[in-house]
A and B are shown apart, each in its own frame.
Chain A
Amino acid sequence: MDVSRRKFGKLAGLASLAVAAPAIWTSGRAQSRPIRIGGSFSMTGPLSATKAGLVGLQIWRDDVNAKGGLLGRQVELVTYDDQSSVAQIPSIYSKLVDIDKVDILLSPYGAVLSAPVMPFIKQRNRFMAGMFTLASNDGVKSERFFQACPWGPDGKVNWARGFFDIAKASGCKRIAVLNADVEFAKVSAAGGKAAIQEMGLELVFEQSYPPNNSDFSAILRNLRATTPDAVFICSYPPDSTALIRGLSEVGIGDSVKLFGGGMVGPQYAANLQALGAALNGIVNFNLFVPEPTMTNAAVNSFLTRYRAIAVPEKLDALGFYIPPSYYVAGEMIAAAVDGSGSTESAAMATWLHANPVRTRVGTATFNDLGDWTERRVLMTQFQGVKGNDVDQFLQAGRQVILNPPALKSGDLIQPFMKARGA
């Protein structure tokens, strides 16, 4: 290393001049050395359900290596457990870069854990694939950060825009917003409120509640009294379940046409199984569902292989939500390495900014902040769910895609209470 750390700090201020710096890290190494891809995973702690993503990444690695690797080099993964804790992140990423000398970085799961890495990659001028991080790059504006999830441009405000498009199209005017006091839900709710204002809708109710709230009857009664047309919910798995149960018990009133939007939980097999028919009518986001407009042989084979690993390891038994995005991150990295003929951050970033990437869930092009230029967050409605059998969610028609229009696979059933079969 012939560039001192102090000099690095100054270079960080002048990012445009620093294009040459990363070359120092990787140049002059033997070409036969494996390409190392590193990142942290939440193997333990509150976010540990997200570790299913590692299986997705491992399947990609196996695929790539079976085809002879990248640039003729094998791909190797270097992963650490961040215990779902921000405090662990700085030392893990320093280790990945300074000790393990990984070539390519993957972000930790989500915006909270990624927040400490963002200044770091900006300072070190490193390429990084963002995993489920919403609006992480809005602050430091790194040119070498690329989002693997299709939140779309200006994801913070717009990722759940599909819900409001559907609301507007079905004549909803009065909107209620309810969110959990956790990062993702809070950001999403703020985005929802911005969308409401922008589209000329009326915000009639807003409320946040503590994580792990188990009784929603009081909240739902307050909400019902405002007679909303649509209810935008941003919740986390335990409270999503409690909320949906509460819905059946307390009811929501006849005014509601649309319910859901940003609920995390009804993507996971365990929650789908627990809720069963109580899900009917809910319109909620997902990143993949097995509808004819989305599915193809490649995705199916990926999911089959994922399940073969996940079910014995007691990971999410469906794998629709998290694992495919890790495979997509791999495809994105592979395209950039092959396309630029290099594992250098600068070359990969330049290539990705200039070229589209074909992935299993569609073609991606990236804007200046590394977000997908096209939003591909699905808004699906649960329809015809019967009993608590989890396998029914593998069939088409259970989670009908309403938005984006290009992937639409069915029509909205409304009002909400009718869609619930009540």
Chain B
Amino acid sequence: MTPDTSLMPAVAPASRARSRATGLRNIAFALGAIAVMAGGYALTQTVENPYVFFAAYIIIQYVALSTGWNVLGGYAGYINFGATAFYGAGAYTGAVLLKAFDASVFLCLPAAAAVGAVLGLLMGYMTLRVQGVYFAIATIALVVMAHTLVLNLEYLGGASGMALMAPEAPSWSGGQIQFMFLVMLGVAILSVVVARWIEISWVGRGFRALRASEDAAECAGVPTFKLKLSACAISGAILAMTGAPLVFYASFIEPETVFGLALALNAIAMPLIGGKKSWPGPIIGAILLGSVQQAATITISSELNILLVGVVLIGFVAVAPDGILGLLDRKGARK
């Protein structure tokens, strides 16, 4: 999050000064990404208390999750209630590779991304002829099918789940949880980089055309079908990649958690709260909601927390449909 980045997507007419500014912005963004990663590494070398990394992992995971969701949901306007189907597919891909080959997490990540992309393509292909609500419903169906599949596959542990020990973390990382923290940080940064690239490239313009009106885009010669498929595939790949390290983190995996409601809910709520139209939105939403929820595990009346999430969702839809960033922009415009 560099301060000089515009909060709303850059709609750039090709003037030379503008393109130089874009170039500078790209460099600043790249430097920022590298700085975040370096900062994360410095943290693992200086902070002793492991809890920091346990908690940070969860929050950073949410950053990746909401960014991945936003590629399809925010940019292309296809609401996905089934983020957990992709997340779960990634998590189980990681678990299977770990179980069968004692695979490193660095192998599990691309494998999970591939599985997620294929699942996304399938999803997009099956819902080729439908839009809007129908797509959203189809994503719910996907979660139930994935859940049922896992319950019925003995190799995946079924309902009992699987307890697996992760291979020893590389010594430079400072320990297993520190290592997982860095891995997740890398995944999150990668997903933000991809999201930002989409946003500022022609792909993003295509996605925005889809969101505005698929029919109109089709008429204007936008390759809607290809765009829709690629949005599904990219989003699916990011979501699945976010799930892949779970078994390394928790040394356990079971279907109720990975296909549970909490994750699906957060994947939608976070971009909505932060702002769906540009890449910083999901990050803001994830950090905000993620830390509040980490803090909320302390309080006893947890039902109130869920109630609060519901009220906040309604409130944002009612008052600030473009999230916090939208609010800020509106304020900025008024000044």
- Whether A80 contacts B297 by the Cβ 8 Å rule is yes
CA distance A99 to B48 in the complex (A): 11
- Whether B250 contacts A139 by the Cβ 8 Å rule is no
Chain A residues near B300 (CB, 8 Å)?
Answer: 43, 79, 81
Give a binary string over A1-16; 1 marks a CB under 8 Å from any B CB, 0 the rest: 1000110010000000
Among A167-175, A179-187, A371-379, the stretch in contact with B: A179-187
CA distance A46 to B55 in the complex (A): 23
- Whether A112 contacts B254 by the Cβ 8 Å rule is yes
Partner of B250 from the list A1, A5, A89, A181 (CB cut-off 8 Å) is A89
CA distance A5 to B181 in the complex (A): 15
CA distance A87 to B303 in the complex (A): 19
- Whether B175 contacts A9 by the Cβ 8 Å rule is yes
Give a binary string over A88-128; 1 marks a CB under 8 Å from any B CB, 0 the rest: 11111011011100000000000010011011000000000
- Whether A5 contacts B174 by the Cβ 8 Å rule is yes
- The verdict on A239 contacting chain B, using a C-beta distance below 8 Å, is no
- The verdict on A85 contacting chain B, using a C-beta distance below 8 Å, is yes
A90 and B249 in contact, given A6-B174, A43-B300 (Cβ under 8 angstroms)? yes
A44 and B302 in contact, given A88-B297, A99-B51, A116-B251 (Cβ under 8 angstroms)? yes
- Whether A85 contacts B51 by the Cβ 8 Å rule is no
Among B31-39, B101-109, B160-168, B188-196, the stretch in contact with A: B160-168
**Chain A interface residue bracket vs B:** 35 or more
Give a binary string over B222-263; 1 marks a CB under 8 Å from any A CB, 0 the rest: 000000000000000000000000100111111011001011
CA distance A355 to B57 in the complex (A): 41
- Whether B160 contacts A183 by the Cβ 8 Å rule is yes
- The verdict on B110 contacting chain A, using a C-beta distance below 8 Å, is no
Tell me the smallest distance from the CB of B265 to a CB of chain A, in Å. Answer: 11
CA distance A98 to B51 in the complex (A): 6
Give a binary string over B16-59; 1 marks a CB under 8 Å from any A CB, 0 the rest: 00000000000000000000000000000000111100110110
- Whether A98 contacts B49 by the Cβ 8 Å rule is yes
Chain A residues near B131 (CB, 8 Å)?
Answer: none
A66-85 CB contacts (< 8 Å) to partner B: 79-85
- Whether A87 contacts B58 by the Cβ 8 Å rule is yes
- Whether B158 contacts A86 by the Cβ 8 Å rule is no
Partner of A186 from the list B50, B160, B250 (CB cut-off 8 Å) is B160
- Whether B49 contacts A99 by the Cβ 8 Å rule is yes
- Whether B148 contacts A1 by the Cβ 8 Å rule is no
- The verdict on A312 contacting chain B, using a C-beta distance below 8 Å, is no
CA distance A46 to B58 in the complex (A): 21
Q: In chain B, what residue has the closest Cβ to A79?
A: B300
- The verdict on A45 contacting chain B, using a C-beta distance below 8 Å, is yes
Q: In chain A, what residue has the closest Cβ to B306?
A: A44
- Whether A115 contacts B163 by the Cβ 8 Å rule is yes
- Whether B49 contacts A91 by the Cβ 8 Å rule is no
A116 and B252 in contact, given A91-B58, A181-B151, A183-B160 (Cβ under 8 angstroms)? yes
- Whether B297 contacts A186 by the Cβ 8 Å rule is no
CA distance A180 to B305 in the complex (A): 31
- The verdict on B298 contacting chain A, using a C-beta distance below 8 Å, is yes
Tell me the smallest distance from the CB of A52 to a CB of chain B, in Å. Answer: 13
CA distance A185 to B159 in the complex (A): 9
Partner of A94 from the list B51, B257, B297 (CB cut-off 8 Å) is B51
Q: In chain A, what residue has the closest Cβ to B147?
A: A210
Give a binary string over A202-235; 1 marks a CB under 8 Å from any B CB, 0 the rest: 0000000011000000000000000000000000
A187 and B51 in contact, given A81-B300, A90-B250, A181-B151 (Cβ under 8 angstroms)? no
- Whether B251 contacts A87 by the Cβ 8 Å rule is no
- Whether B55 contacts A91 by the Cβ 8 Å rule is yes
Q: In chain A, what residue has the closest Cβ to B294?
A: A91
CA distance A87 to B250 in the complex (A): 7
Partner of A5 from the list B148, B175, B294 (CB cut-off 8 Å) is B175
Chain A residues near B158 (CB, 8 Å)?
Answer: 181, 186
CA distance A94 to B305 in the complex (A): 22
Give a binary string over B54-97; 1 marks a CB under 8 Å from any A CB, 0 the rest: 11011000000000000000000000000000000000000000
Chain B residues near A115 (CB, 8 Å)?
Answer: 161, 163, 251-252, 254
- Whether B257 contacts A85 by the Cβ 8 Å rule is yes
Tell me the smallest distance from the CB of B242 to a CB of chain A, in Å. Answer: 12
Tell me the smallest distance from the CB of A114 to a CB of chain B, in Å. Answer: 9
Chain A residues near B15 (CB, 8 Å)?
Answer: none
CA distance A185 to B158 in the complex (A): 12
5 contacts between A and B (CB under 8 A): A91-B55, A98-B50, A119-B165, A183-B161, A187-B160
- Beyond known contacts A80-B298, A88-B58, A119-B163: 9 more, CB 8 A cutoff: A80-B297, A86-B257, A87-B58, A87-B263, A91-B57, A94-B50, A95-B54, A98-B51, A186-B159
Q: Which 4 A-B pairs have the closest CB atoms?
A: A91-B54, A115-B252, A86-B257, A94-B54
